[in-house]
Structure 1
Amino acid sequence: MSTPAGPTPNARPSWALDAENLDAAMSEVPLFMKELPTEENDTLAALQSLVYDGTPEEIAENFKNQGNEAYGRGRAGFADAIKFYTQALDVECQDQKLNEACYANRAAVNLELQNYGKALYRSAKALFALDRLDEALDCCDHALAVDPENRAVIQERERCQKRIDLIAEKKRKEEEKKRKEKEKKEKIDKMVKERKIKFEVTDETVAKTAQIQLDEETNTLSWPVFFLYPEHKESDYIQAFNETNTFQDHLEVMFEQPAPWDAKQEYTMDNIEIYFENTTGLRPTLVKIGKKLQLGKILSLDKYTIINGVASFIILSKTSPFKEEFLGRYKK
């Protein structure tokens, strides 16, 4: 059986572009070339020659008109307008009025660009003063696009960038500080929980000012501590009493010299006793503790409660009549 005569189905004419590789095919057409070919191209040369087809006056007029069209597009076309006016002048036609028009038009565009640059520079300085640094930097970039060699704008941009970098670094350090503080607090909370230390808050203001300190080298806690002397209505405050220190460690330093309020010199290391108030029962009681005990051991006792974030201990003189009177208050 013979094959019917006629064109092959879906055959592509020899002059048609390859649809599957349209971009590549289009780039070979002179009107759509994105880059000039390195080898000779007669068609392209012919098209380029059309730009310079005619008398010098006609060519210059053509470039001038293209410059006017570019200028008419607004600031986005100013750079192209300058190029076209320059090309018109490069023709060196004999029409002086035409040349003067091109010179005048190019100067006008340059003047507008310069004023635009100055306005952007002033805007950048104003925005910098308001700490709107990203906007100031953007103004500098636009100004430099118009006048890349403008030293004042370059310096202003450097100033903006330096300020931006400084703020970014400050913010980074603040965030790092907050992160470390958060981690430290979480670690302290965990250590306190592990030690089974009990708290009671009766005064929020006082509790907020009391701070537990973490010694990261020894991985130990230091506590604010009050030593109370009820006989003389006096007290001593220790801001950071490390949990590994004994009471004797601090009291020996404190009583190395007689206290100003201890006229009878009854409060000496050999003549004092230490107590804490146990509030876990139905009524408060006093618990006597040894001077050589570590603070941490006492704070972890079931009977001990830290009130408002500060550990408190009562100091009494063994030989003072006040001692028996004071102890009697807790026996009634």
Structure 2
Amino acid sequence: MKGKKWPKISIGIIIILFIIDAVAGFFFYNLAIDRNQKDFLQDNTDLEVSAEAMDVFMKGDWRNWVSNQQFEEVEMTSYDGLALNGYFLPAKEPTNKTVILAHGYLGSGKDMGLYGQYYYEKLGYNLLMPDARGHGQSEGDYIGFGWHDRLDYVDWINLMVDKLGPDTEIVLHGVSMGAATVLMTSGEKLPANVKAIVSDSAYTSVKDMFAYQMKRMYHLPSFPILPTVSLVTDMRAGYSLSEASALDQVKKAEVPILYVHGNADTFVPTRMSKELYENTKSEAEIMTVDGAGHGESFVVDQDRYKEKLSSFLERYVKE
């Protein structure tokens, strides 16, 4: 009798583990990907910033600058029927130079005003700052982490070319999730109007990022939970975590890419940008910033960042 119990016990254990894994898969989907209130990043030490950086992010002059601009709201329908929203600002003087900025996780288009002000005031660019799907005023009930967004950015590029003319020269500049977005866009078939891409604090893939954060934040192994999260994401949002890869996309890139990453970034480790740089098919450069945490490079070493950005763009944007 005892021997006959073991198969039943084993089957029971397997069923329990399967249920736990399924629950965990839906839990992490709702936690990170579903469009809802996100509290899990509060008090995350990996996202702590210096008092100086916090002051710039929260109270910097760029916020007043954004509030004082007369942005044109631009609407676009995505390939899968979502109404997407963006904010366009023509340059002070007529120009063919346009930058399309890509914000980070849980942000919105106008959060990129920190960079937009420099492009507008000092470099003389037209600006477009879209709200990513699932963010801001754009529709979408999930966060794409750059994967479906890459196709949205192809459409934003084409919209700008149609709006501004065939001589338009376009730069893509993203931070964090936005950096992954523009890198994922780099692997698509892009018009010759796209001259350069700037990636600040990007991750190699959504799968790599989730595996890193599950271990760091929750002390959990990626297997078997991560494949289940990926399956739930595929069912609910239409993409798997493994296919959402900036690394695979830059291996196909034709547009020059500048990588920037803080050496003190523990939220998205610096090694990810280095791996991306080493695998980029197109011309590429990388700059790391000592003492900068996640997305802080522009604030921590603003002069060096601007100098590197300007010199990089001068080589490829030839208005």
TM-score range, shorter chain: under 0.3
User: If the length of structure 2 is used for normalisation, what is the TM-score?
Assistant: 0.24
Answer 1 or 2: higher relative contact order, Cα 8 Å, separation at least 6.
Answer: 2
Higher helix share: 1
Which has more radius of gyration? 1
| TM-score normalised by the chain length of structure 1 | 0.23
